Amino acid sequence: MGLFHRKKQTEDEVTVEPEPRRGLPRRPEPNVDGLRPVAEHRDYLLSMVRELPAFGQTLLDAAGLSLCEEIVADLDLPRFDNSAMDGYAVRAEDLAGASRAHPVVLPVSRSITAGDPAGDEIEPGTVVKIMTGAPVPPGADAVVPYEHTDRGSQAATFLHAPEVGANIRHVGEDIAVGDHIASIGDQLGPRQIGMLAGIGIDQVLVRPRPRVVVISTGSELVQPGFELAEGQIYDSNSFMLAALARREGAQVFRVGIVSDDPDVVAQSISDQLVRADLILTTGGVSEGDRDVVKAVMPGLGPTDFCRTAMQPGKPQGFALIGDDRTPVIMLPGNPVSAFVSFEVFVRPVLRKMMGVQPLVRPTTHALTRTIIRSPKNKTQFQRGLVTSTPDGRRHVTPMGGGGSHKLGDLARANALVVIPEGVEVVDAGHPVEIWMIDDE
C-alpha cells in the first residue's frame, strides 16, 4: 500500500493488521451476448456512491447546490406597507370625487423616501410625498402616482380619485412569517438565492460540490498549446470531461495527461486521493496491449471492469480505492465514447453525490430525418442535431454514426439519439428517443 501517501508509517509504529478488504457488491448479470445492460450498470454504480454530507455554505456559494434544511420565513416580505410608485400617500376619502374636471388641491406636509422611517400619522386633509419603496405613513390608505397630479411640492393638485389600497404593497403579501419557502432537496437557483437573501438568510446547509479529479491516460497524448511529434494527438478528453463535470456543479481538478506506464498511472491516481470525491480517467480500459488502467487498478482496490451493452462506450471500469473507498470511474479513450459514458454513467453519479434530481436525463422525442440502424442487443447513442419547425414538431438529424472519434460531429450536436436494446432499425420520419444534452 506504499502508493497511498497518506498511509506512510514510520518503522517504530506498531503494525496493525489491515482490515480485510471489502469487495464490490454482487455484479449485475450480463445479457445473452455477455454484455451488461446500460441501466443495470448505471444503477450498479449509483448503488456504490453516497450523497456527500451536508455542509454550511455562504449564500452565493450555495447557488446550484441542493438544500439540506427546511426553510421557514421569519421575516415578512414586504417587511412593511410601502409605496409601489413615486407620488403622494393620501387618505383616499380626502380625494373622493377628484377628476380632471374637478381637481382637488391638498397641502403636502412632508416627504418620505426609501430607507426613511414612516413617521407620524398623516393629518386629515393633507398628503405626504412618497417615493417607491418608502414606508406608507400611518393613516394613509392609498398612493396617487405623480402622473395623476401636478407634482407640486408645497401643495399638490389631484386629477384622480384613488381606490383604497391603490399602489400600496402590503406587509407579508409576498411571503409571511411562518411560510415554508424552501425544502430539503431543492436545487438553489438564482431566483431561490434572491428570495433567501430577501428574507435575510446569509448561510444555508447544502450538499457541497463534489471534488472531481480528471485524468487522461495515453502515451500518444499532448497538452494543447504544445508541439505535436509524429503519431501524437492532443488530449481532448480531460478538457471535455472537466468542462462537463464543472457544468454539473463539481469542483474540478484537471490533472491532464498520464503516460501508459503502469507505475506512473497507479501513482498518479493514488496521489489524487487526498483531494477527490470522485476520480475520472479515460483510456486504457479496452482489450489493447497498452490498456494499463485495466492492468493496474485491481492492485489499488476492488475493481469492476465490464463490457456494457452500449455503443459507443462499451468498455467501462469502476473501482473503490484508498482509505475512504473513493470511487474511480474509468471511461474509454475515444472522445465520443468518453462523452457518452459521462452522460450515461458519470452525470447520474455526480447528481446523486450532490443530492440533485432527476439523476437521469429526461427522454423526449423527435422525428428522425434519416434511417437509423442499430446493433440488436445494444443501446446506441448517436449524436444528433435537433431542430423545431414552426408548428412545434421536432426533427433530429443523426450524425457521426459509429464514429466514436468524431469530435467535430459531437461539437455540432445538441442531442443524443437513444436507440434502445432490441431495436435494429428506425425509418426516416419515425419518432426516436432523444436527450437534449445542452440543457443544464
The residue range among 7-15, 54-62, 107-115, 276-284 that interacts with ligand AMP, by the rule CB under 6 A, is 276-284
Closest CA to 278 of 244, 233, 312, 315: 244
Region of 97-105, 150-158, 210-218, 251-259 interacting with Mg ion (CB under 5 A): 210-218
Beta carbons of 434 and 396 less than 8 angstroms apart: yes
Query: Counting beta carbons within 10 angstroms of the beta carbon of residue 202, is it exposed (0 to 12), middle (13 to 18) or buried (19 or more)?
Result: exposed
Q: How far apart are CA 174 and CA 117, in angstroms?
A: 21
By CB under 6 A, is residue 281 in contact with ligand AMP? Answer: no
Residues in region 295-334 near ligand AMP by CB under 6 A: 332-334
DSSP per-residue codes, 323-358: TTTEEEEEE-SSHHHHHHHIIIIIHHHHHHHHT-S-
Is it true that the peptide bond before 358 is cis, omega within 30 degrees of 0?
yes
CA atoms within 13 A on the CB side of 52: 25
Ramachandran class of 256: left when φ > 0, alpha when ψ lies in -120 to 50, beta otherwise: left
The verdict on 218 binding Mg ion (CB under 5 A) reads: yes
Cα 360 from Cα 352, distance rounded (Å): 10
Number of chain residues interacting with ligand AMP (CB under 6 A): 18
Q: Is 288 in the site for ligand AMP (CB under 6 A)?
A: yes
Q: What is the DSSP letter of 211?
A: E
Partner interacting with residue 322 (select from Mg ion, ligand AMP, none; CB below 5-8 Å by kind) = none
The stretch near Mg ion (CB under 5 A) out of 115-123, 282-290, 375-383, 397-405 is 282-290
The secondary structure element, H or E, covering residue 38 is helix 38-47
Interface with Mg ion (CB under 5 A), residue total 4
Per-residue contact flags (x/-) with ligand AMP for residues 230 to 269, judged by CB under 6 A: ---x-xxxx-------------------------------
Q: Does 333 bind Mg ion (CB under 5 A)?
A: yes
- Tell me the residue number closest to Mg ion, measured at CB: 283
One of 284, 327, 384, 400 touching ligand AMP (CB under 6 A):
284
CA distance 45 to 30: 15
Residue 379 touches which of ligand AMP, Mg ion, none (Cβ within 5-8 Å per kind): none
CA dist 376 and 32 (Å) reads 11
Q: Of 284 and 400, which has the nearer Cβ to ligand AMP?
A: 284
Measured from the CB of residue 284, what is the shortest distance to ligand AMP in angstroms? 5
CA 9 to chain centre: 41
- Tally Cβ neighbours within 10 Å of residue 327: 22
Q: Does 400 bind Mg ion (CB under 5 A)?
A: no
**283 lies in the site for Mg ion, by CB under 5 A:** yes
Pick the stretch among 25-33, 36-44, 154-162, 228-236 that binds ligand AMP (CB under 6 A). 228-236
* Interface stretch with Mg ion, choices 72-80, 96-104, 216-224, 262-270 (CB under 5 A): 216-224
Distance from C-alpha of 187 to C-alpha of 218, rounded to nearest angstrom: 37
CB of 287 to ligand AMP, least distance (A): 9
- Answer yes or no whether residue 216 interacts with ligand AMP by CB under 6 A: yes
Q: How far is the CB of 240 from ligand AMP (least distance, A)?
A: 8
Q: Which residues of this protein are in contact with Mg ion, per CB under 5 A? A: 218, 283-284, 333
Q: Which residues bind ligand AMP (CB under 6 A)?
A: 216, 218, 220-221, 233, 235-238, 282-284, 286, 288, 332-335
